């Protein structure tokens, strides 16, 4: 949950900066054309996924838990093919329309954006999960080696987890008050429960990292590293 929150915040800030620069560099008419084309490409890019981003996560969890690597491989190939088919179905007409109205170079660039956006959206959940799991495993290994910087890094991620959990509580409370229980139970609560579990795990990790025996282990490791650096092995 913390990784999602940080990623969304970074994307929002980057998008704001890019749009601001584009608005300053382009004229009124050109910026209007830019906004229209890339907004249309963004909407069509979502449609071009043909819903595969949800199916990919479902197939991944189901077949991985069942130990069916053959079915998982087939599902991933199917999703990739469906996404490429969607890109062709939505991208080709969009390219022809855009080329007729704005030229082939602009049409090619915007259509390429449409295709890449569709592919990224289809695979983003898997990539994000893989990177997140790998990062936590790497931090666990380094903390096991007594690296102080790893404890600091794990603390930062743990605090972000807790902050995002607090924001999740505000979202659930707001939706429950404004849109009714159905919306909360139907969509938000499952993610909220996962966030709570994530937050509890973060608290447990932080407590274990800062126990007296853990701090003593980090201190002893730091002294050993300093002695090795000074005198050699």
57 and 115 together in one domain: yes
162 and 113 together in one domain: no
pLDDT in tens, 160-208: 777 766 666 665 555 444 444 444 444 445 555 666 777 787 788 888 8
Higher per-residue pLDDT: 138 or 22: 138
Mean pLDDT of the chain: 76
Of the pLDDT bands very low, low, confident and very high (cuts 50, 70, 90), residue 92 is very high
As a whole number, mean pLDDT of residues 56-76 equals: 77
Q: What is the domain extent for residue 213?
A: 145-233
Whether residue 87 is contained in a domain is answered as: yes
Higher per-residue pLDDT: 30 or 177: 30
As a whole number, mean pLDDT of residues 148-160 equals: 83
In this predicted structure, the answer to whether residue 155 has a pLDDT above a threshold of 60 is yes
Q: How far apart are CA 129 and CA 105, in angstroms?
A: 36
Per the structure, how many domains does the chain have?
2
153 and 112 together in one domain: no
């Amino acid at each position: 949950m913390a990784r999602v929150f940080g990623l969304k915040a970074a994307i929002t800030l980057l998008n704001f900066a890019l749009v601001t620069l584009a608005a300053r560099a382009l004229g009124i008419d050109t910026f209007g054309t830019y906004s229209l084309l890339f907004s249309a490409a963004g909407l069509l890019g979502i449609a071009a996924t043909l819903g595969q981003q949800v199916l990919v996560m479902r197939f991944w969890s189901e077949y991985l838990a069942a130990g069916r690597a053959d079915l998982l491989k087939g599902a991933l190939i199917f999703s990739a093919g469906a996404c490429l088919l969607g890109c062709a179905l939505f991208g080709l007409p969009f390219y022809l329309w855009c080329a007729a109205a704005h030229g082939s170079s602009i049409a090619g660039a915007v259509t390429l954006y449409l295709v890449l956006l569709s592919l990224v959206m289809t695979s983003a959940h898997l990539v994000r999960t893989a990177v997140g799991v790998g990062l936590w495993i790497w931090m666990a290994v380094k903390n096991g080696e007594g690296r102080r910087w790893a404890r600091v890094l794990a603390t930062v991620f743990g605090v972000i987890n807790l902050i995002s959990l607090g924001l999740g509580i505000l979202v659930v409370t707001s939706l429950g008050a404004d849109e009714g229980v159905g919306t909360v139970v139907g969509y938000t609560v499952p993610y909220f429960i996962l966030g709570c579990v994530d937050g509890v795990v973060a608290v447990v990790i932080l407590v274990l990292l800062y126990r007296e025996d853990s701090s003593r282990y980090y201190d002893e490791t730091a002294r050993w590293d300093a002695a090795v650096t000074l005198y050699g092995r």
